């Protein structure tokens, strides 16, 4: 069966390229099955116009004081998306412990077999998430299902998210200090190195400022496992833990294919680079689909924030390369360049690159200038007239 998301992308590209007026009737007639996708997205932009899709109604959020599994008392709904809600809850067995509960509603339009497969997949992969233990990740402590809803229980992380930090800095006409952002970046890199180092590797796929929380103690937490994926070692594909598609501003081009697109750790690196771009410039980067047609739409970070160091700018742009092969091969490689203080750093991307190609662009210029001055001095020495000995 043809993947409907691919058909949406094809239609979207055609409409955008030809500036055709699109509406819901055109969308519905071109892709009859698109209504089944409404639980993953509520609208698609065609030619600058927002087209709202018909959306199946989700079950309403749980009410405050609702009890789940005779253990968790719902305090409030703190977030809501296309697949369910996120709640703040109290653990009635452990006095004083609060947790976040992510709800995932099973697609009611799917067949009983598909619903059973989705539930088995959720439990299988949630058990892997429950084994993760890292200071920059919330601890997953429980998972279960009730009725048509699956639940993932994790630590409730106090503090503010980095989207709020951007908005606060922007309201004061300031930029977040580069040193502070790089400190946060180091913690995020540590978390991603840990995730990508699991067997099988775990991908997050929705890194963005709103999904990064800063605790009162100054610790960064990468939250919302809604798009975490597990890479299958003997397969080029990945398996979604909890269905979702990422946030366009921070999503690499290869992730637009939904579950048919091949994603690997370099997809998270793109999202991390896009997140750092936003944190350091107060402006979100141009979407990958826009950059594909108009590369000039991505404004260099130092154009927006002239105080930013050249090394940081280049590291961010490297992470945000359109093709995965042009990005750092690993988060460790990206971290080493981003946080390095050495004057000459390597810029490793593809396995077949020469040593010269690996040298960061600005360092290539400096090296060429130094080599040129050396050649000039040698030539001047050789061809300078010999002065007579007195």
Active site residues: 206
What phi and psi, each to the nearest 5 degrees, are found at residue 75? -95, -50
Return the SS3 of 153.
strand
Whether 41 contacts 64, CB under 8 Å: no
Lookup result for tokens 């991307």? 349
Whether 46 contacts 67, CB under 8 Å: no
DSSP symbols for 220-259: EEE--GGG-EEE-TT-SSEEESS-----GGG--GGGGGGG
What phi and psi, each to the nearest 5 degrees, are found at residue 185? -60, -40
Whether 43 contacts 65, CB under 8 Å: no
Task: Quickly count: other Cβ atoms within 10 Å of residue 356's Cβ.
Answer: 8
Task: Quickly count: other Cβ atoms within 10 Å of residue 5's Cβ.
Answer: 20
122: Cα within 13 Å, side-chain hemisphere: 24
Whether 246 contacts 296, CB under 8 Å: no
For residue 196, with 0-12 CB atoms within 10 Å meaning exposed, 13-18 middle and 19 or more buried, which class applies?
A: buried
Output the CA angle 323-180-88, nearest 5 degrees: 85
Query: What is the C-alpha R_g of the chain?
Result: 25
Structure token pair of residue 357: 């190609």
C-alpha to C-alpha distance for 211 and 268, rounded to whole angstroms: 13
What is the maximum span of the chain, computed from C-alpha positions, in angstroms?
A: 105
Lookup result for tokens 């809501």? 80
């Amino acid at each position: 069966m043809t993947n409907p998301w691919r058909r949406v992308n094809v239609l979207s590209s055609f409409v955008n390229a030809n500036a055709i007026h699109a509406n819901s009737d055109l969308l519905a007639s071109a892709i009859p099955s698109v209504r089944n996708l409404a639980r993953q997205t509520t609208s698609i932009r065609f030619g600058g116009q927002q087209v709202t899709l018909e959306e199946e109604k989700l079950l309403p959020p749980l009410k405050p004081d609702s009890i789940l599994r005779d253990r968790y008392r719902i305090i409030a709904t703190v977030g809501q998306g296309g697949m369910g809600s996120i709640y703040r809850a109290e653990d009635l067995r452990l006095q004083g412990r609060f947790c976040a509960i992510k709800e995932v509603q099973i697609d009611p339009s799917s067949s009983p077999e598909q619903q059973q497969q989705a539930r088995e997949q959720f439990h299988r992969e949630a058990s892997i998430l429950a084994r993760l233990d890292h200071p920059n990740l919330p601890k997953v402590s429980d998972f279960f299902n009730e009725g048509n809803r699956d639940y993932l229980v994790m630590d409730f992380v106090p503090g503010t998210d980095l989207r709020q930090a951007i908005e606060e800095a922007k309201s004061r006409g300031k930029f977040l200090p580069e040193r502070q952002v790089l400190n946060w970046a180091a913690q995020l890199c540590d978390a991603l190195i840990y995730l990508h180092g699991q067997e099988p590797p775990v991908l997050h796929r929705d890194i963005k400022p709103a999904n990064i929380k800063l605790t009162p103690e100054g610790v960064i937490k990468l939250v919302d496992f809604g798009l975490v994926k597990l890479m299958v070692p003997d397969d080029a594909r990945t398996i979604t833990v909890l269905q979702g598609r990422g946030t366009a501003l921070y999503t690499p081009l290869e992730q637009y294919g939904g579950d048919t697109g091949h994603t690997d750790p370099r997809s998270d690196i793109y999202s991390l680079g896009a997140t750092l771009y936003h944190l350091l410039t107060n402006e979100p980067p141009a979407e990958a689909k826009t950059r594909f047609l108009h590369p000039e739409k991505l404004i260099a970070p130092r154009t927006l924030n002239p105080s930013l160091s050249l090394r940081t700018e280049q590291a961010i742009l490297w992470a945000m390369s359109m093709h995965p092969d042009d990005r750092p091969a690993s988060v460790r490689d990206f971290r080493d360049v981003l946080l390095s203080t050495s004057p000459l750093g390597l810029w490793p991307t593809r396995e077949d690159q020469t040593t010269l190609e690996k040298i960061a662009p600005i360092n290539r210029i400096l090296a060429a200038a130094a080599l040129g001055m050396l050649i000039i001095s040698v030539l001047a020495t050789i061809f300078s007239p010999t002065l007579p000995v007195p």
